[in-house]
């Protein structure tokens, strides 16, 4: 499931509150954020932001009083979420009640989606190959297995077998030595120079870190992949090879720039002048194509309309109403395939007639 901005913001605020609690400074954190919110509101002369900051601090104080009363009665109350919502509200100039309502609404939607995928067969990604449809019981079984693997990894480390004796028996002395050497090399990479330039691959030769051109870059005739002491030298060799073969590093972007293209605006086909607006981010299984909300119909436009659609989408809140459903994308793909087959059959029929 995609990461939600509101939940991510709440998680960051929770971690900040937990850090303050460990140092006994939760009250100081709320006071600091409140003073900062009042200072920003006073600078902008925003009366609404001032009232929200005061109301948020007052609401947090009431929550703390209720928690103290429950503690006196022998009950435990968790005020971490209340503190997190207060921190978010003070930083954004909003009311903590609205922030809490939005986050809880997202939690409810995710709970509904969770119940849906547990009670209905849904598609599940595979390590290799396309996703396959599994039942809710199978999904729960896979979750339990993953949780057991994670718990074992935290306890025993990266051992992929049942116990230590089997680990030693399978790897034997030579393979265990190779595993230790690989771990040492990765440690040296983390402590030393890391590869940051494109088309460069790091390896070791005689215990020293060296660099070479990655195998994804084709070598010209009579050229070899030389080991270099620095990644800049390997990067320069890869750049020279690309210039010789005429293959830019970002081929798709270079082609778009050559024909005057725009990022996220893609051509439909070479036979017409239609374009679609497409983004990499997904929203709950929706496709990546964008269309004006409430319009329906095709999501292919002429050049000017596609540019206007891109501008409108980037100015919007980018919610699910802008995305074309996956079912529509599959239907259009099947229709295009059927049209291509019909065109091919008609062409073969004309050839036979002639």
pLDDT at 263: 78
Q: Among 116, 143, 176, where does a domain finish? A: 116
Q: Which residues contact 246 (CB under 8 A, 6 or more apart)?
A: none
Sign of the torsion formed by the C-alpha atoms of 96, 98, 99 and 100? positive
Which pLDDT band, with edges at 50, 70 and 90, does 306 fall under? confident
pLDDT single digits (tens) 82-103: 889 999 998 988 898 999 999 9
**Same-domain status, 225 and 132:** no
**Same-domain status, 127 and 143:** yes
Length of the chain: 354
Q: What is the pTM assigned to this prediction?
A: 0.43
| 203 in a structural domain | yes
Q: Which residue has the tokens 């409430």?
A: 294
Average pLDDT score over residue span 229-255: 82
Q: Among 212, 227, 249, where does a domain finish? A: 249
Smallest CA-to-CA distance from 321 within 292, 354, 280 is with 292
Question: Both tokens of residue 263?
Answer: 């990022």
The beta-strand segments (E) located in the chain are 122-124, 132-134, 200-205, 208-213, 265-267, 275-278, 289-290
pLDDT at 6: 86
Residue 340 pLDDT > 80:
yes
Domain containing 144 equals 122-156
**Same-domain status, 75 and 15:** yes
Average pLDDT score over residue span 156-162: 61
CA–CA dist 292, 312 (Å, integer): 8
| 145 in a structural domain | yes
pLDDT at 292: 86
| 275 in a structural domain | yes
pLDDT at 144: 92
pLDDT at 343: 85
**Same-domain status, 210 and 140:** no
pLDDT single digits (tens) 97-144: 999 999 999 989 999 988 998 888 888 888 777 888 999 899 999 999
Structurally, the chain folds into a number of domains equal to: 4
Question: Both tokens of residue 155?
Answer: 């306890």
| 161 in a structural domain | no
Which pLDDT band, with edges at 50, 70 and 90, does 159 fall under? low
**Same-domain status, 9 and 112:** yes
Which pLDDT band, with edges at 50, 70 and 90, does 172 fall under? low
CA–CA dist 256, 265 (Å, integer): 9
CA–CA dist 57, 63 (Å, integer): 10
**Same-domain status, 223 and 320:** no
| 176 in a structural domain | no
**Same-domain status, 348 and 301:** yes
Which comes out higher in pLDDT, residue 224 or 283?
224
Q: Is 278 helix (H, G, I), strand (E, B) or coil?
A: strand
**Same-domain status, 143 and 205:** no
pLDDT at 294: 80
**Same-domain status, 31 and 104:** yes
Dihedrals φ, ψ of 301, to 5°?
-135, 170
209 has which bridge partners? Answer: 204
Dihedrals φ, ψ of 118, to 5°?
-85, -35
Q: Which of 2-16, 47-61, 161-175 has the lowest mean pLDDT?
A: 161-175
Mean pLDDT, the chain, as a whole number?
81
| 193 in a structural domain | no
Q: Residue 352: left (phi > 0), alpha (psi -120 to 50), or beta?
A: alpha
What percent of the chain has a predicted confidence (pLDDT) above 70?
82
pLDDT at 260: 59
Residue 171 pLDDT > 60:
no
Q: Among 249, 274, 308, where does a domain finish? A: 249
| 165 in a structural domain | no
**Same-domain status, 112 and 9:** yes
Q: Residue 297: left (phi > 0), alpha (psi -120 to 50), or beta?
A: left
| 181 in a structural domain | no
**Same-domain status, 227 and 325:** no
Question: Both tokens of residue 28?
Answer: 């100081």
**Same-domain status, 238 and 271:** no
pLDDT at 34: 92
């Amino acid at each position: 499931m995609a990461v939600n901005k509101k939940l991510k913001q709440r998680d960051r605020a929770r971690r900040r509150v937990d850090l303050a609690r460990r140092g006994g400074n939760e009250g100081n954190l709320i006071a600091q954020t409140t003073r900062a919110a009042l200072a920003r509101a006073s600078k902008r002369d925003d009366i609404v932001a001032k009232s929200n900051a005061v109301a948020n601090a007052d609401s947090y104080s009431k929550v703390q009083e209720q928690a103290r009363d429950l503690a006196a009665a022998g009950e435990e109350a968790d005020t971490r979420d209340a503190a997190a919502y207060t921190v978010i509200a003070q930083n954004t100039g909003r009311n903590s009640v609205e922030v809490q309502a939005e986050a809880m609404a997202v939690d409810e939607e995710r709970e509904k989606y969770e119940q849906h995928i547990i009670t209905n067969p849904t598609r599940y990604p595979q390590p290799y190959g396309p996703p396959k449809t599994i039942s809710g019981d199978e999904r729960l079984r896979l979750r339990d297995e993953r949780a057991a693997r994670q718990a074992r990894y935290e306890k025993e480390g990266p051992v992929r077998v049942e116990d230590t004796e089997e680990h030693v028996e399978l790897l034997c002395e030579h393979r265990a030595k190779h595993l230790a050497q690989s771990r040492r090399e990765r440690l040296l990479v983390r402590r030393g120079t890391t590869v940051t330039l494109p088309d460069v691959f790091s390896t070791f030769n005689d215990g020293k870190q060296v660099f070479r051109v990655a195998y994804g870059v084709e070598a010209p005739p009579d050229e070899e992949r030389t080991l270099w002491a620095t990644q800049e030298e390997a990067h320069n060799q890869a750049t020279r090879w690309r210039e010789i073969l005429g293959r830019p590093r970002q081929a798709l972007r270079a082609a778009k720039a050559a024909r005057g293209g725009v990022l996220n605006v893609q051509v439909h086909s070479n036979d017409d002048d239609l374009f679609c607006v497409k983004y990499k981010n997904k929203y709950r299984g929706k496709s990546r194509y964008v269309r004006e909300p409430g319009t329906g119909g095709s999501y292919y436009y002429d050049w000017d309309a596609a540019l206007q659609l891109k501008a409108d989408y980037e100015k919007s809140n980018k919610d699910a109403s802008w995305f074309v459903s996956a079912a529509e994308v599959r239907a259009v793909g099947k229709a295009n395939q059927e049209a291509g087959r019909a065109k091919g059959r008609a062409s073969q029929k004309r050839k036979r007639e002639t």
